[in-house]
Structure 1
């Protein structure tokens, strides 16, 4: 049993550390009814469906403002694209991403369950663990990288406050790949992030509302300063001389960059169910997400304009915002520039924090909740993600592991098929119908148990999805020579993975029916049910005990047992 609920915080701490048995009792979640169930895995109760259409619009609009998007134009312009054409590539890639994101959030917004639980229907009660684990690992790595970026901005802010900051003696060996200033900023970034880990995903939406307001103002201020100081944009200085005599080579380079934008969005595409599950109404996630992401073109345009102006003035292109801020302070360390850079670095710090929470910390928390439901919920998972991401010393990844970074950059070929397989399973195979009770039933009789707990059809389709661009992916490391055709196929990596994986799964399901497929003749019939029950072990007489979904709801406002919950 857990410590009594009327204990104070100090009493609970004393109880937890009084003995190993009490410690185990203290960390065990009361809501963990089985290895498939706890309070953050079951469908979100009405109290947690707090995200409106504005919430999603603010989220995606705010997510457009980040380091990656600001710097996105650099690789495109280096290929010889004009600024206009580069921005068009970014725009259309984000439009496609937004459409897929809305589709992938459809099931979550109707049934109010996240990615780990939805994956059970597609990959099986045991098979889904593999796809949860690989997403959790990526979340840890990128959370660490984003924490390192936050440290960079804090270091810039400290430089604005203390003139001697840049002259601080660096006692860290150069081989470590980090300076003392940035390391201090990294530690402070860890401390600054801690309070946000206490906020549940259903309540974090306000962070993005603030970010969606302050980040464009900061970006506009940087652009105004750059163009004023340069007396114009000077876009011609970013033009790169490229041989366009071969239309095929030039076209394939553009395709590769389109794919790179899709790849950078691939984590967001997979992650969206963990946010869409908290939608107040299903249509809220549609309009908010469909309109928000394409606006990334504005942040990319600001990055291009600023970089062009600065390069014309100082002869150096600062694509990363923190390099830009340090460059400005190097050239002009006046009180006015220090105040402006301090504000800009503070806003970018806040923006990077928001990106890390949404794209890395929240997904990891959902994944680890699925893996350890007896001990971990969303809030505990967020703290765990922060601690591990701090411990992996992410600057080593950025400075000493180019091969690993290349792997992360091409990893989208594995994520594209995961999304398409789940979409095909939900819309075409299940026709919008999920059995909520079966998603939490690990018995061999469950319709989502498949064969030994694994849906072999989805696993086979997943392999088909990534195996086609795989040779080009291997060739991208430079250690193996592959044919030009293989490289070009890899240029379409995410798109091919998405199409081939989904088509393969659809064909396999036509040839080999999945359990329960015959119950889905009427589209979306299950979404009107309002009396879902979840398996809760066995009763003393051996019968299957069941508990209404409502009983697993918000434990701060516990719903009385037996109350029905409308799932839509």
Structure 2
């Protein structure tokens, strides 16, 4: 069952001689491939068109010091994202398996649970953060009225206001309802959410530009204050508008997508062929990301003219509108947008990742429910209050894993994998009792350069190379893995 360049519309879900410790119907190769280019496009609209996606784009706009330099940085980053996503997406199309199963080829049949859990923990964290952000957009609208505002100001529970808790639980339940109906419902939801969010972003930009009396592409702020705000919102210690700033923008934009570099195959496995994948990725990544970032920059600049201050939160901007209809429309749209990214980026992955731990007892729906419950339990602690500072840190933990998987699949195995063996305990991917020690060693060394040195190393290392920690992790772990294997597939027994 070796695959290369698979282009068929379906793959058998029946894997002969599979182990119940490694197989269930949700982890099996995809049986239906109904995701066209439009659905792939909307994976990306759902992933970036969120409150935090807007916040990051607007923050990087400040780092750029101008629209032209901003578009250059975002454009370069978006092209890199396209190339890397297409690499991992092809593996999903060709094998038809989700990320934790593909990781078995590199880390071993049971060792793959470690990189799967790393991704699951990160996704669960962001699930809670995005749910809280969506609830915040609704709270911003409701507090315009006396009753909800009174509840918000006088009732407190679990470190939050009563209104915040109610809205969080509502958004949390809505997401759970979507995911509980399976991947086909996920596809239909994102096909709705993506275009709706784009429409609202344009309405926001046009409304603010009209109110400002002109189309603006800059913010009125002294250079020193701009640098301070840019650093506080992004953590980047660069001079706005410099060449280093443009490079850091590109690197940070790539790092923002670090988690999906690992598990984009969870979606690509439902695409019928590589041509469809590339078409969806072209429109969804460089084209969509550049246009979205441009609109975010335009909105930020216009809002600074209208309100006399730089506002990076779109919900805060829309809450200032005089029109109740526009405020409601914006609140609902941002909530839908955040539901979209949570379902795509932060719910599907842990559902598969947790299912991979015990396939006999945990399926896709139960894995998703577990992720949702963990995020709910984290809510009283609100660990995501400082979420922006975690972008590079989180991305850096993903780089070494990605480097090993890509080198193993493309350079060592030449895109050829015995898919059936991925579900066999004593097959090709047994390695050392289900663990590939070489892969873990390479990833661990890469993590030193990508995760530990930026935090605990010399200050100069963090200031200079911090924004590029994800790339360093990819290169170090990938090259080291290539070296320790001698460029040959490690023995499976």
Asked if TM exceeds 0.5, the reply is yes
Aligned to 1:320: 313
What is the Cα deviation at residue 193 of structure 1? 2.3
Considering only aligned residues, what root-mean-square deviation do their CA atoms show, in Å? Answer: 2.8
What is the Cα deviation at residue 390 of structure 1? 1.7
Aligned to 1:514: 490
SS in 2 for 1:127: coil
Structure 1 stretches lacking a partner, 5+ long = 1-30, 476-480, 518-568
Farther off after superposition, 131-140 or 187-196: 187-196
Aligned to 2:8: none
Determine which structure has more spread, i.e. the larger CA radius of gyration.
1
For 1:506 and 1:437, the matched residues in 2 are separated by 24
Conserved? CA contact 2:397–2:451, under 8 Å: no
* 1:438 partnered with 2:421: yes
Deviation per CA, 1:229-273: give whole Å up to 9, x if none: 1111343434551599x9999433433332221111101211201
For 1:77 and 1:173, the matched residues in 2 are separated by 36
SS in 2 for 1:49: coil
Counterparts of residues 394-409 of structure 1 (less than 5 Å) = 396-399=382-385, 402=386, 406-407=389-390, 409=392
Distance 1:238 1:419, change over 3 A: farther
Distance 1:257 1:514, change over 3 A: same
* 1:453 partnered with 2:434: yes
SS in 1 for 2:27: coil
For 1:466 and 1:398, the matched residues in 2 are separated by 23
For 1:248 and 1:339, the matched residues in 2 are separated by 37
- Equivalenced residues, count: 465
What is the Cα deviation at residue 125 of structure 1? 1.6
Aligned to 2:404: 421
More helix by share: 2
Farther off after superposition, 352-361 or 494-503: 494-503
Aligned to 1:388: 374
Aligned to 1:552: none
* 1:271 partnered with 2:263: yes
Conserved? CA contact 2:311–2:317, under 8 Å: yes
Aligned to 2:39: 55
2:454 corresponds to which of 445, 448, 473: 473
For 1:249 and 1:60, the matched residues in 2 are separated by 28
Aligned to 1:497: 473
Aligned to 2:190: 208
Aligned to 1:361: 347
Aligned to 1:5: none
Counterparts of residues 73-112 of structure 1 (less than 5 Å) = 73-79=57-63, 81-112=65-96
Aligned to 1:304: 297
The ranges of structure 1 where at least 4 consecutive aligned residues each deviate by more than 4 angstroms after the TM superposition are: 246-249
Structure 2 stretches lacking a partner, 5+ long = 1-16, 228-237
What is the Cα deviation at residue 132 of structure 1? 1.1
For 1:88 and 1:396, the matched residues in 2 are separated by 35
2:140 corresponds to which of 125, 138, 156: 156
Conserved? CA contact 1:465–1:498, under 8 Å: yes
SS in 2 for 1:492: helix
Conserved? CA contact 1:79–1:240, under 8 Å: no
SS in 2 for 1:311: helix
Distance 1:486 1:217, change over 3 A: closer
1:142 corresponds to which of 91, 107, 126: 126
